[in-house]
Structure 1
Amino acid sequence: MTRLKRNVRLVFIMFCGLFLSLLGYLTYFQVYERQKLIESSYNRRLWEQEETVTRGTIYDAKGRVLAKTVEENGAKKRVYPEGEAFGPIIGYSNKKLGRANLEQALNGELLGISQQDPMMVLRQKVLGVSKGNDVYLTIDSELQNKAYQLFRGRRGALVALDPNTGAVLALVSSPGYDPDFIEQMWESLSKDENSPLLNRAVQGLYPPGSTFKIVTLAAALESIPDIESRTYETPGHVEVNGRVIRDYEGFRPGNYDIKRAFSLSSNSVFVKVGLEVGKERLIDKAIDFGFNDKISFELPVAASRFPRFSMIGDDVELAEASIGQGKILTTPFQMAVVASAVANGGRIIKPYIVQKVVTPLGEVKNFSNPSVLKEAIDVVTANKIREYMVDVVEHGTGRAAGIKGIKVAGKTGSAENPHGKPHAWFVGFAPADNPKIAVAVVVENAGSGGTNAAPIARDVIRYFLMNGK
């Protein structure tokens, strides 16, 4: 009898444990995963809901329509007036293919099922409202189209931010696609070697090349007290444990201070600087700027990578990292955040693309309050780097980014990659003394950043300052 009681007790305890596990499992999904499950593109009930609820409209910052629902022959259809420049950002909402990009990320708002005030929900039901919320983005469609056209079909990306608020002004991925024809073109788009379905601005990972020298410079200014009074002699190359790293063709051997070496983008000098900064301080500074961490944003952003050096690694890894080569990979979005931090005095400000959401009853939910995530560098260091970046455009490799009457700060880069010609980079901001726009541009396999990326940044900056807010 005693043994029977013990067995009954064990069975009872086991079932209690299973019951509590099930209760915890259901509670987790009800509390933490509820909204994600409701808004998932795999939830077929949402397509049924779209039969009774008109999906909200997506507008740009100036109220131009980017996506809306129309009725044709009694059937609802989603249309995208701005075409392929917006495909990688807006995405699509299609019964056969599902949803992508902002159409997916904002699905709850556009269908009016996102978490909101219960009284608001009740009022909409009482009034018989059958429309989702309208969403206003921070992007100016004219600036977006202008930037997209500048790529002329070449593979690449551009990100433009307001460095003071974090608002996304343009988010270009080239080539793009027209969401109006996504179903008809799906097979060819998905097989296209140029990957038009990939949003390169947030998901493309590239070696940053010499644009990373901004981070190396920041670490040097903070950790080497007399760095600005030093001169570095270079024959145009440097050898590190048998690995020869050369300056670009045409670089003149000689003596360079850190400002001139930055302006002319000397690899050999910055390798020497990086070796003195050291592994840990360079890694820490990269992390301060946002590497190895996911950027919180409405669209998923690939984490930029600054891998820890191997235990048996030598100084070659550090040398390559100091000039943005080796194992470092970054998104154009991350490099725009780096440029913004220098522009605004050293702060990493949370980027955002949704300006506001307006319900069918006129209630407005604003998302435009700037949020400082952390300080990457202090104001003194930021101002010094700004001075150096101005010199890059006025006297160095970034002259093609110059704009008459406007002081531009920038840094060029030509990032070597194992799959072809170097990627062309430019990051910068303007006006340098009162920044209103920060940009990052990458053109794949285009060679020199000063020749191929800087002019795109120049034209976007000029267009924004002449026609923007």
Structure 2
Amino acid sequence: MNTPLRRLATLTLVMFVALMGAATWVQFFQAESLNTDNRNVRGLYREHGNARGPIVAGGVAIASSVPVDDPFGYQRTYADGDLYSAVTGFYSIANGRTQLEEAENPQLTGRSDQLFFSRIRDLLTGRRPEGAAVETTILPAAQQAARAALGDQDGAVVAIEPTTGRILALVSTPGFDPNALAVHSTSEAAAAYRALEGEPGNPLRSNATQERYAPGSTFKLVTAAAALESGSYTADTPVPSPVEYTPPQTSRPITNFGGGSCGGDQVSLADALRISCNTAFAELGVTLGEDALREQSARFGFDDPDLEVPLRVTRSVFPTDLDPPALAQTAIGQRDVQASPLQMAMVASAIANDGRLMKPYLVDTVRSADLTVVSQNEPEEYSQAVSAGTADQLTRMMVGVVDSGTGRAAQIPGVQVAGKTGTAQTLEGQPPHAWFTAFAPADAPRVAVAVIVENGGSLGNEATGGGVAAPVAKAVIEAVLGS
């Protein structure tokens, strides 16, 4: 063979290998990304052509697929869409998917590896493929009570069963109607999405799991826990409680709510929590030190970037490199410490469960179309947040908050409620956020709850956690105990 023919043959071989390599790369290595690309109309038709599994709460489908007479075959519909929007999210041709629709997509479409044998069965029997049902842990009565109690106020409620970590309520306001985003007209769905993006309060983003706030005085539970865990304090230990406390390295004093006294130059740690004494906890935080507060907050779940329930949860933050003024503010839940409502429900849940923090979860069971159990979540310990002895002392201190302190609005006749109020300063000129976290019954807890009402809700600048958020928590607790 002469040189030109050899070169031509070599070039042809190289081009053939390159072509086969490119085809293999596209068809094998890029197959999944191309199939899931929203621009892939074939993928959309294929995905919508099969019945997507339902999302269920309390035995009732809150998201389901119904057959429609168009090229897609099925359309997603949502029952009580606004009520459950923070749970289900949406499933949209034009806008993708969020919340459980995203987190459980492999199960809902039937493409999860867990459903391999179901797919084989459907192939052999000629049965039309269907996605699996995702059964949530949500208790509808608690969800409805939380939504009704928040009313038209912006905020969030999270309720957890302390002994298991099951999420009983997950509400964010303002919510939205996912049905408007599930329509098969891409122009209508896109327009609905843009309209929601422009609404006040960012309804597409869940305040319960995706937002974080200064926790205000609810963070005093973490500071109190660190003090009790140190071994140097008990609930009865006297702590300094001046009218004003000026931390080292600053001339700006910290004052109590309304500028008042906590009842003397010293009060017990229990009384400091009961009346939410800022000066006592600010000085206590400086005395304990940054490391103690950081370690304690981490045991409650702060600074965990990987928390999923299976919704991804925004990381709650304990700040770093704190000078004494910043540490004093952090100890009372101000400055740069940030927490999601789910995080503060976890704090209350751990205290309620003898110091054991169970990992929160939102999905109970996944069932195939023939009702076979594909997977079932079991309770899992997240951490030993505090000792049982510390949890017992904190419980008694929190009962005092509700019985005779700042949380009286959460009292329930015949039920002992343990709670903590919080009123968190926000941007200058803006009303404070109102917080309340609690559990009940105190002696045998069935529910732990956290509530935030943004910018004081209906009371604005006059709001306190006890006045605005505590009644919401009370309504949720009553719903759980009455179910």
Output the TM-score relative to the length of structure 2. Answer: 0.85
The number of equivalent residue pairs is: 437
Matched residue, 1:101: 99
Structure 2 residue corresponding to 1:207, chosen from 195, 207, 214: 214
Distance verdict in 2 for CA 1:199–1:253, change over 3 Å: same
Q: Does 1:361 align with 2:361?
A: no
Whether contact under 8 Å (1:163, 1:344) holds in the other structure is yes
Q: Which runs of 4+ in 1 moved over 3 A?
A: 33-46, 72-75, 117-120, 226-230, 232-235, 250-253
Cα distance in 1 between the residues matched to 2:78 and 2:410: 33
324-333 or 344-353: which moved more? 344-353
Q: Does 1:56 align with 2:65?
A: no
Amino acid at match of 1:316: P
Whether contact under 8 Å (1:424, 1:453) holds in the other structure is yes
Distance verdict in 2 for CA 1:228–1:432, change over 3 Å: closer
Amino acid at match of 1:460: V
Matched residue, 2:138: 139
Structure 1 residue corresponding to 2:75, chosen from 68, 71, 77: 77
Sequence identity percentage: 38
Matched residue, 2:431: 421
Report SS of the residue matched to 2:148.
helix
Matched residue, 1:438: 448
Shift of 1:36: 8.6
Q: Does 1:308 align with 2:325?
A: no
Partner deviation per Cα, 1:171-201 (whole Å, 9 max, x = no partner): 0000100111232532221111221111000
Shift of 1:52: 3.2
Shift of 1:336: 0.7
Q: Does 1:192 align with 2:199?
A: yes
Partner deviation per Cα, 1:57-94 (whole Å, 9 max, x = no partner): 1110x211101111233542211111211123211111
Matched residue, 1:458: 474
Distance verdict in 2 for CA 1:194–1:377, change over 3 Å: same
Matched residue, 2:64: 68
Shift of 1:37: 8.3
Whether contact under 8 Å (1:41, 1:104) holds in the other structure is no
Amino acid at match of 2:211: G
Matched residue, 1:395: 404
Matched residue, 1:290: 301
Shift of 1:307: 1.5
Matched residue, 2:13: none
Report SS of the residue matched to 1:427.
strand
Whether contact under 8 Å (2:131, 2:368) holds in the other structure is yes
Partner deviation per Cα, 1:258-288 (whole Å, 9 max, x = no partner): 1001110000011121111111111111111
Q: How does 1:169-180 map to 2 (within 5 A)?
A: 169-180=168-179
Amino acid at match of 1:319: A
Cα distance in 2 between the residues matched to 1:239 and 1:422: 23
Whether contact under 8 Å (1:39, 1:108) holds in the other structure is no
Amino acid at match of 1:200: N
Cα distance in 1 between the residues matched to 2:311 and 2:481: 26
Whether contact under 8 Å (1:35, 1:114) holds in the other structure is no
Matched residue, 1:319: 328
Distance verdict in 2 for CA 1:141–1:238, change over 3 Å: same
Report SS of the residue matched to 1:158.
strand
Shift of 1:415: 0.6
Amino acid at match of 1:398: G
Cα distance in 1 between the residues matched to 2:301 and 2:357: 8
Amino acid at match of 1:68: S
Whether contact under 8 Å (2:54, 2:61) holds in the other structure is yes
Shift of 1:322: 0.8
Shift of 1:204: 1.1
Cα distance in 1 between the residues matched to 2:39 and 2:279: 53
Matched residue, 1:9: none
Cα distance in 2 between the residues matched to 1:435 and 1:44: 51
Cα distance in 1 between the residues matched to 2:85 and 2:236: 50
Cα distance in 2 between the residues matched to 1:227 and 1:40: 58
Output the TM-score relative to the length of structure 1. Answer: 0.88
Whether contact under 8 Å (2:240, 2:283) holds in the other structure is no
Q: How does 1:20-31 map to 2 (within 5 A)?
A: none
Report SS of the residue matched to 2:203.
coil
Whether contact under 8 Å (2:440, 2:446) holds in the other structure is yes
- CA RMSD, 1 decimal: 2.3
Gapped runs of 5+ residues in structure 2? 1-17, 182-188, 457-462
Distance verdict in 2 for CA 1:44–1:244, change over 3 Å: farther
Cα distance in 2 between the residues matched to 1:162 and 1:233: 36
Cα distance in 2 between the residues matched to 1:37 and 1:231: 65
Whether contact under 8 Å (2:246, 2:253) holds in the other structure is yes
Shift of 1:226: 4.3
Matched residue, 2:395: 386
Shift of 1:228: 4.1
212-221 or 290-299: which moved more? 290-299
Cα distance in 1 between the residues matched to 2:36 and 2:143: 28
Whether contact under 8 Å (1:158, 1:332) holds in the other structure is yes
Whether contact under 8 Å (1:41, 1:99) holds in the other structure is no
Report SS of the residue matched to 2:422.
strand
Cα distance in 2 between the residues matched to 1:169 and 1:219: 28
Amino acid at match of 2:110: G
Partner deviation per Cα, 1:107-129 (whole Å, 9 max, x = no partner): 11111001126433311211223
245-254 or 386-395: which moved more? 245-254
165-174 or 235-244: which moved more? 235-244
